[in-house]
Amino acid sequence: MKPVKVGICGLGTVGGGTFNVLERNAEEIARRAGRGIEVAQIATRQPNPKCNTGATPITADIFDVVNNPDIDIVVELIGGYTLAKELVLKAIDNGKHVVTANKALIAVHGNEIFAKAREKGVIVAFEASVAGGIPVIKAIREGLAGNHINWLAGIINGTGNFILTEMREKGRTFDDVLKEAQALGYAEADPTFDVEGIDAAHKLTILASIAFGIPLQFDKAYTEGITQLTTADVNYAEALGYRIKHLGVARRTDAGIELRVHPTLIPADRLIANVNGVMNAVMVNGDAVGSTLYYGAGAGMEPTASAVVADLVDVARALTTDPNNRVPHLAFQPDSLSDHPILPISACESAYYLRIQAKDRPGVLAQVATILSERGINIESIMQKEVEEQDGLVPVILVTHRVIEQRIDDAIAALEALDDVVDKVVRIRVEQLN
């Protein structure tokens, strides 16, 4: 059978990795796909020194690839929203299948892109868009297809996890570690996407859609980054038996779906609490299977290429199949998507870590306990540290039982209004993940 012809748009970290993996493993890939997968054209403005592209035709214009009649599958690895969207829609219009690693594009414009792809009978595959080399989309969409998924929670930004790990283990500064992540090719072009949780929210949006059968709704995800975390809270969390991880959580409740990204205290003995460096991990809980855990490199040249190439093999295998009987893009048949609403963060339920900076006076703890009990908030553990020499304040740290966030918002407002409480109350959500 004739080889499938692929055009790679973007020869950066992931594009370069994809080219190299396709070349190096060509023989095994052909044995799996049933035919060769050949890179017939590359669009890039500059060569990648890590790739020996040999005689492969190279153009500086991505639309040369999209309009090339010989190309069967366009691999979109340029990133961003605007040009990437134009590229993907044009490729679909031209009847080409698309493989992309672009989580921002899928999370924000996926509903439109998939509708167009269905109309044209082509596949848009996006395994590499979430958690780099971990085949978690395939696992949820296909491997867990018999389940009612209850919740999922994941460390889905390698850069953020790398920064938190280096800060905790080596006492390095935030900026120093971020620079290293950028040099290693983990960080987004705009690294605020990593540290402010936007990248993780893109990925969570995609995972929630395929887990619960809902349209992509990035604009409704609650997003909080890691820039406000302090070493003090990292250390207090450890003393209470927890680790702080930047987590994406999607949970189905009767009232709606929780879709939230934020720093989270996790019991230190959970496997996922021990996922360090650039590694990612996603826990998925289904009614039949129980809890499952998927772990691996969440970013980087060849780990992400591994997912891109797996998608290419999938598309190559599906080329001759009936477009109406393929695995649906978002796991559920498009006319069977649910309109179960996404909950605002104030209606989400979690346990909470609170750190209150109080004056060292009698009765402060009693006032704190009263404010919480009046709002039905049950305290699980409480720790009062010695007076801090520099300001004479006493850090009061407590962990609550699970409660709707609105009640914690009210309690924090009341605590901050106390004469004996100084500064903002620090609030970090706590998940047991059991």
* Positions marked active-site: 203
- CB atoms < 10 A from the CB of 41, how many? 19
User: What is the smallest separation between the CB atom of 134 and ligand HSE, expressed in angstroms?
Assistant: 11
User: Residues annotated as binding site?
Assistant: 9-16, 103, 188
Rounded to whole angstroms, the Cα distance separating 366 from 13 reads 56
Token couple for 327: 């695995």
Smaller CB separation from ligand HSE, 137 or 351: 137
Smaller CB separation from ligand HSE, 197 or 298: 298
Question: 108, 179 in Cβ contact below 8 A?
Answer: no
Rounded to whole angstroms, the Cα distance separating 337 from 335 reads 6
Smaller CB separation from ligand HSE, 186 or 212: 186
* Distances in whole angstroms, Cα of residue 381 to Cα of each of 67, 178, 241, 353: 63, 34, 11, 9
Smaller CB separation from ligand HSE, 213 or 303: 303
CA nearest 266: which of 251, 245, 250, 292? 245
- CB atoms < 10 A from the CB of 321, how many? 11
User: What is the smallest separation between the CB atom of 46 and ligand HSE, expressed in angstroms?
Assistant: 21
User: What is the smallest separation between the CB atom of 158 and ligand HSE, expressed in angstroms?
Assistant: 4
Footprint of ligand HSE (CB under 6 A): 132, 157-159, 186-188, 194, 199, 298-299
User: What is the smallest separation between the CB atom of 280 and ligand HSE, expressed in angstroms?
Assistant: 7
Question: Parallel, antiparallel, or unpaired: how do β-strands 393-400 and 349-359 relate?
Answer: antiparallel
385, with CB counted inside 10 A (0-12, 13-18, 19+), is: middle
Token couple for 144: 């867990």
User: Residues annotated as binding site for L-homoserine?
Assistant: 188
Question: 296, 278 in Cβ contact below 8 A?
Answer: no
Smaller CB separation from ligand HSE, 205 or 350: 205
Assign 3-class secondary structure to 84-110: HHHHHHHHHHCCCEEEECCHHHHHHHH
Rounded to whole angstroms, the Cα distance separating 308 from 381 reads 46
Amino acid at 20: N
User: Residues annotated as binding site for NADP(+)?
Assistant: 9-16
Rounded to whole angstroms, the Cα distance separating 180 from 185 reads 9
Strand, helix or coil at 276? coil
Smaller CB separation from ligand HSE, 8 or 30: 8
Rounded to whole angstroms, the Cα distance separating 128 from 38 reads 19
Smaller CB separation from ligand HSE, 186 or 236: 186
Rounded to whole angstroms, the Cα distance separating 33 from 310 reads 10
Question: 77, 8 in Cβ contact below 8 A?
Answer: yes
User: What is the smallest separation between the CB atom of 111 and ligand HSE, expressed in angstroms?
Assistant: 21
User: What is the smallest separation between the CB atom of 29 and ligand HSE, expressed in angstroms?
Assistant: 23
User: What is the smallest separation between the CB atom of 140 and ligand HSE, expressed in angstroms?
Assistant: 17
